Amino acid sequence: MNPCNITRLASLLLVVLASAAPSASATARTRATVIAQLQMPKPTQEHIEAEPAPVPHIESAPATVPRIDTRPGDDQPSIVAPAVTKDSLALRDTQQAQAVDRELRRLLRTAEAPRTIGSTPQSAQAAWTLGLIYLHGAGVRRDTALAQRWFEQAARFGREPWAYAGLAWCYLEGCTGPPDPAAAGRAIERLRPHHPARADFLQWVLSMRQAPLQVAKSGVNQDQVLELPDRPLLEKAAAAGDMHANIELGMDAVTNERFEQAEQYFRRAGPQSQAARANLQQLAARDSSPIQAQQKLPLSESAEEALMTARKYHRGQGVPSNFTEAIRFYRLADQRGSVQARRILALIYSRPAPGGGIDPGWMQQLAYVDVGTTIPTMGVLGTTHLLHREPTPLYDLMPVFWRDQLTQVGR
């Protein structure tokens, strides 16, 4: 063989061997890596849990009616879907509705943060606030039974003393059944060491529910002077600064035509109460014109006309006050489908006189009650103006944000 060819062949063989060497080396490295991975121990559950989980994408859920269920084996409310009612959404813009939903979620998270609701001050306070929200229907559908459940959870460990005021009011009103005066009295006594003025006022409300107004001066219907039961207790609460007690004393003063005294009571409650400020305006604009001459009112053909006639006899507007005729026309309006007439009749018969029959003092109190709104109102006797109470004795304890969520009906 030619020496040149032999040299050329040897060079080619060296090139081939050199190019094959890296591939063999890479293959060896790959084989070593696979073997090492197979020999590594599998990760334990402990290691898996320690690894950070990816953050899930959360989309805003559409607003629905709030619902709180009970956990299996537990009597505590648990979050399901806090949201805003359709009626609320119709009245507020989207931004406001989102703020309500956001704040409601925050309260629910705070209430349920500990293992047992109410076991910490923060949890108990959040549960108390949720009770107020559902009691008044502030931004959510009104649900008195759910309100009482939240009050019970807030009071469970004594971390939020105001919760006893919520329970007392629920027992007085019958949030979950018939009123329970004995249970209300027990709740008031639990409240008294912490908030004595409000406890005195609630105790007076309890006395008022159990004993009708007494006639202090004889007269006929609206000429009577009424005496509040357990008045010293109400005055004690008012002197201690309870605004609801001052409003009640002011309304009593107006009923008995002590207008200057009424103004003093309303002014004492005014800084805290929109109702008291409205009452002061009504006093300033009260109508002192004489009652018109008696007019014969014919039988009405519609429910609305019958209801208006009943109110005239009830209030003595344009005709002498006549409670018998008022009840007759209320019944007529009820028969013709008036829901308001049915409500006022239920109120009239809810507190009969001690010997049975209609209690004239209670009839006077009901003369200007507005059963067409959720806000109780009381009439100024002898005028065409209305006085106001706060919706409940707990209304002023609700945070301002939630008070703003209540629909204010012109009244």
Same domain for 151 and 85: yes
Evaluate if residue 370 carries a pLDDT over 60.
yes
Q: Is residue 87 part of a domain?
A: yes
Q: What is the pLDDT of residue 289?
A: 38
User: What average pLDDT does the structure give for the chain?
Assistant: 73
Using DSSP, state whether 15 is helix, strand or coil: helix
* Helix (DSSP H) and strand (DSSP E) numbers for the chain: 18, 6
Q: Is residue 223 part of a domain?
A: yes
Distance CA 35, CA 258 (A): 100
Cα separations (Å) of 219 from 214, 215, 223, 327? Answer: 12, 9, 5, 20
Whether residue 308 sits in one domain with residue 262: no
Question: Looking at 86-90, 96-100, 139-143, 244-248, which range is the least confident one?
Answer: 86-90
Residue 280 within any structural domain of the chain: yes
Q: Per residue in 334-367, pLDDT tens?
A: 777 788 888 788 778 777 766 566 777 778 778 8
Residue whose entry in the numeric block shows the structure tokens 């009749």: 345
pLDDT at 116 over 90: yes
Does 257 share its domain with 219? yes
Strands 225-227 and 377-379: unpaired
**Residue 178: DSSP 8-state:** S
Q: 186-197, pLDDT tens digit by residue?
A: 999 999 999 999
Residue among 248, 283, 282 nearest 268 (CA): 248
The confidence score (pLDDT) of residue 253 equals: 85
Q: For residues 296 and 171, which has the higher predicted lDDT (pLDDT)?
A: 171
pLDDT at 85: 55
Euclidean distance between CA atoms 131 and 175, whole angstroms = 11
Quick one: pLDDT at residue 7?
A: 58
The pair phi, psi for residue 407, each rounded to 5°, is -75, 120
For 216, the enclosing helix (H) or strand (E) is strand 214-217
pLDDT score recorded for residue 269: 92
pLDDT in tens, 373-409: 433 444 443 333 467 888 899 999 999 999 988 753 3
pLDDT at 31 (0 to 100): 45
Q: Tell me the C-alpha distance between 324 and 322, whole Å.
A: 6
| 233, 256, 284 - which closes a domain | 284
Same-domain check for residues 110 and 147: yes
Question: 227 - beta bridge partners?
Answer: 214
Q: Are 277 and 309 members of one domain?
A: no
Of the listed ranges 108-117, 216-225, 390-399, the least confidently predicted one is: 216-225
Same domain for 333 and 264: no
Task: Give the other-Cβ count within 10 Å of 147's Cβ.
Answer: 25
> Are both 327 and 359 inside the same structural domain?
yes
138 lies in some domain: yes
User: How far apart are alpha carbons 163 and 198 in whole angstroms?
Assistant: 12
pLDDT band at 162, cuts 50/70/90?
Answer: very high
Q: Is the pLDDT of residue 182 over 90?
A: yes
Other C-beta atoms within 10 Å of 317: how many? Answer: 15
Confidence at residue 22, expressed as pLDDT on a 0 to 100 scale: 46
Q: For residue 67, what pLDDT band results from cuts at 50, 70 and 90?
A: very low
Residues pairing with 379 in the sheet? 386
pTM score:
0.58
Q: Which residues are paired to 69 by β-bridges?
A: 78
Q: Indicate whether 274 and 324 sit together in one domain.
A: no
Question: Tens of pLDDT along 306-317?
Answer: 888 888 888 888
Considering the domain architecture, whether residues 317 and 265 belong to the same structural domain is answered as: no
At position 201, the amino acid (one-letter code) is F
Residue 198 domain flag:
no
Q: Tokens 């959404």 sit at which residue?
A: 89
Of the listed ranges 20-34, 87-101, 166-180, 280-294, the one predicted with least confidence:
20-34
User: Strand pairing partners for 68?
Assistant: 79
**Mean predicted confidence (pLDDT) in 47-60:** 38
The tokens of 232 are what?
């010293």
DSSP string, 97-138: HHHHHHHHHHHHHHHTSSSSTTSSHHHHHHHHHHHHHHHHTS
Instruction: Tell me the residue length of the chain.
Output: 411
Q: For residues 363 and 323, state if they share a domain.
A: yes
Handedness of CA 159, 160, 166, 168 (dihedral sign): positive
Has residue 297 been placed in a domain?
Answer: no
Do residue 149 and residue 76 come from a single domain?
A: yes
Query: What is the distance between the alpha carbons of residues 361 and 381, in angstroms, rounded to a whole number?
Result: 12
Out of 116, 143, 158, a domain closes at 158
Q: Which residues contact 57 (CB under 8 A, 6 or more apart)?
A: none
CB burial readout 76-96, b (16+ within 10 A) else e:
bbebeebbbbeebbeebeeeb
Q: What is the span of the domain harbouring residue 357?
A: 303-379
Separation of alpha carbons 157 and 153, rounded Å:
8
Q: Calculate the alpha carbon distances from 223 to 100, 161, 291 in Å.
A: 49, 43, 13
Please report which helix (H) or strand (E) contains residue 360, including its range.
helix 360-366
Question: 308 and 270 in one domain?
Answer: no
Domain count, the chain: 3
**Looking at this protein, which amino acid is placed at residue 208?**
M
End position of a domain, from candidates 121, 141, 158: 158
Strand-pairing partners, residue 78, are 69
Q: Does a structural domain hold residue 385?
A: no
Residue 33, CB-side half-sphere exposure with 13 Å CA sphere: 6
pLDDT category at 4 given cuts 50, 70, 90 is: low
Q: Which residue has the tokens 């202090």?
A: 216
